[in-house]
Amino acid sequence: MPDSYRQGRCGMASPTVNDMTSLLEHPRTTRPEHPDQPGDRNTFSFETTTRLPDSADGKGRGGARYGRTGVIHTPHGDIKTPAFVPVATQAAMKAVLPEQMRELGAQCLLSNAFHLFERPGEDVLDEAGGLGRFMNWDGPTFTDSGGFQVLSLGAGFKKTLAMDVKGMKSDDVIAKGKERLAFVDEDGVTFKSPLNGSEHRFSAEISMGIQHKIGADIMFAFDELTTLMNTRGYQERSVERTFRWARRCVAEHQRLTQERIGKPYQALYGVVQGANYEDLRRHAAQQIASLDFDGVGIGGAIEKRVIGDTCAWICDEMPESRPRHVLGIAAVDDIFACVENGGDTFDCVAPARTGRNGAIYTRDGRYNIKRAAFKHDFGPLEEGCDCYACTHYSRAYIDHLLRAHELNGFTLATIHNERFFVKLLDDIRAAIDGGYFDEFRDESLARFYANGSRG
């Protein structure tokens, strides 16, 4: 093709797939060391640095406290744990560039396999060289399995982790005003696309195929996420179904790893379900521990009062060599409870989503920037915060941007909130290594909730 056909309207050459030299390099993706071999599993591992001492009130067996610091090694870099994993749902943080996420301290990002399957399609990401290269992010990446859509499309609920549960139980529960768009059977899930109503099918094998093509460093097995309103009988059946799907995910993952020559190794985490039942959580953890997973995801709806206990029940039954990811958690007290009882990494959409609506997280609690009191407040979102938003812009300006629906407001609020959670986990990690976790936990929670703050 003549160069003249590549000239854009400004006279600049448009990059092709083979000459995108301005993008960040991903040598293990674009030029693997052994292009004629499967991905090397040894490029993924976990090592513990410091573990919390056991105590009389530890929730694990014998007073065990499973909280720890460590390092997850992946083909695209290390993750120092505990760590917060911001959610770039569609291979993008809404209104925030990957470079800005790196600057605020994010070590890794998580994207949604279901949404990327819907658009642009997993083949596009595979052709681009994988998720990281597609969105110009050079660090580790995660993808979830699409299992959450079993709940969100089937029952119509939003995130329900750490929820309070009261009232009747039902196996046909559905959110008010919602249509059931997903139907579960033994083989998988049939669902209608929320984009255009077209019908699709997800199964263990399909989820693995999609996630392998998306190319994240860490993937999750396809599971069924239930609500706390489902009956005990349904929870039991769902745990067994998730285990059967998990076995199929492992088998398909191993097959695809051998088949996809020249690709970096992708780690696979199994997901432990069981709602807020101790015996089901322990049973599910034993099942997942029996399979050849690289790590474990602590999933499902969890009643807030037992969220720390739930992590401890699972850790009691799991090998300590496997990293543990807590799915969908971003309440400050929940993070402390889960870290203390074994959580290594955490993801949640809440910091960005609530920030776009004006909710700002600080060490002194959460507040709404769109309150009238801030219209003439020219101080930062949080005194002492080192994020770009706080060091360059005022409350009054960000209040104005959000009220005017200017996208810059989304950007600045998101940068601050994501920095808050990234730094919170960084500080917790330092506290564990420094031997002052208990004091830091108590002081942080007392300060954050002093005024009855939510979240």
**Cα→Cα distances 235→168, 232, 257, 276, 381, Å:** 15, 5, 32, 10, 43
pLDDT at 134: 98
Compute and round to an integer the Cα radius of gyration of the chain.
Answer: 22
User: In angstroms, rounded to a whole number, what is the distance separating the alpha carbons of residues 437 and 455?
Assistant: 20
Peptide bond into 53 cis (omega under 30): no
| CB of 154 closer than 8 Å to CB of 121 | no
One-letter amino acid for residue 362 of the chain: T
User: In angstroms, rounded to a whole number, what is the distance separating the alpha carbons of residues 12 and 73?
Assistant: 39
State the sign of the Cα–Cα–Cα–Cα dihedral 240, 327, 438, 276: negative
pLDDT at 173: 55
H or E segment to which residue 440 belongs: helix 437-448
Has 347 been annotated as catalytic? yes
Choose between 145 and 133: higher pLDDT: 133
Query: Where in the chain do CATH 3.20.20.105 domains reside?
Result: 50-348
Q: Is the pLDDT of residue 267 over 50?
A: yes
Ramachandran category for residue 95: left, alpha or beta (phi over 0 → left; psi -120 to 50 → alpha): left
| CB of 311 closer than 8 Å to CB of 291 | no
Q: What is the pLDDT of residues 309-334, one digit of tens each?
A: 999 999 999 999 999 999 999 999 99
Is 409 annotated for ligand binding? Answer: no
Q: Choose among 321, 219, 327: nearest CA to 272.
A: 327
Has 316 been annotated as catalytic? no
Is 249 annotated for ligand binding? Answer: no
pLDDT at 11: 38
pTM, 2 dp: 0.90
pLDDT at 189: 85
One-letter amino acid for residue 262 of the chain: G
Q: Is the pLDDT of residue 98 over 80?
A: yes
Q: Over the range 145-167, which residues count as b (16 or more CB within 10 Å of their CB) and which as e?
A: bbbbbbbbbbbbbebbbbbebee
Q: Is the pLDDT of residue 336 over 90?
A: yes
Domain 50-348 adopts which CATH fold?
TIM Barrel (3.20.20)
Query: Which of 126, 144, 294, 334 is the catalytic position?
Result: 144
User: In angstroms, rounded to a whole number, what is the distance separating the alpha carbons of residues 289 and 295?
Assistant: 9
User: In angstroms, rounded to a whole number, what is the distance separating the alpha carbons of residues 260 and 253?
Assistant: 10
Query: Which of 309, 316, 347, 399 is the catalytic position?
Result: 347
Q: What is the pLDDT of residues 340-363, one digit of tens each?
A: 999 999 999 999 999 999 999 999
Judged on CB neighbours under 10 Å (0-12, 13-18, 19+), 363 is middle
Is 10 annotated for ligand binding? Answer: no
Is 142 annotated for ligand binding? Answer: no
State both tokens at 95. Answer: 């209104």
User: In angstroms, rounded to a whole number, what is the distance separating the alpha carbons of residues 102 and 98?
Assistant: 6
Q: Is 46 helix (H, G, I), strand (E, B) or coil?
A: strand
Phi and psi at residue 311, to the nearest 5°: -60, -40
DSSP state of 181: -
User: DSSP readout, 289-329?
Assistant: HTS--SEEEE-S--BGGGHHHHHHHHHHTS-TTS-EEEET-
Is 108 annotated for ligand binding? Answer: no
- Among the ranges given (139-148, 262-271, 346-355), the one the predictor scored with the smallest mean pLDDT: 139-148
**Cα→Cα distances 252→110, 272, 361, Å:** 22, 19, 41
Is 387 annotated for ligand binding? Answer: yes
H or E segment to which residue 389 belongs: helix 388-392
User: In angstroms, rounded to a whole number, what is the distance separating the alpha carbons of residues 176 and 163?
Assistant: 17
Is 273 annotated for ligand binding? Answer: yes
Q: Is the pLDDT of residue 223 over 60?
A: yes
Question: To 10 degrees, the CA torsion angle through 247, 250, 255, 256?
Answer: 130
| CB of 288 closer than 8 Å to CB of 279 | no
Q: Find the mean pLDDT for residues 262-276.
A: 96
Q: Is the pLDDT of residue 455 over 90?
A: no
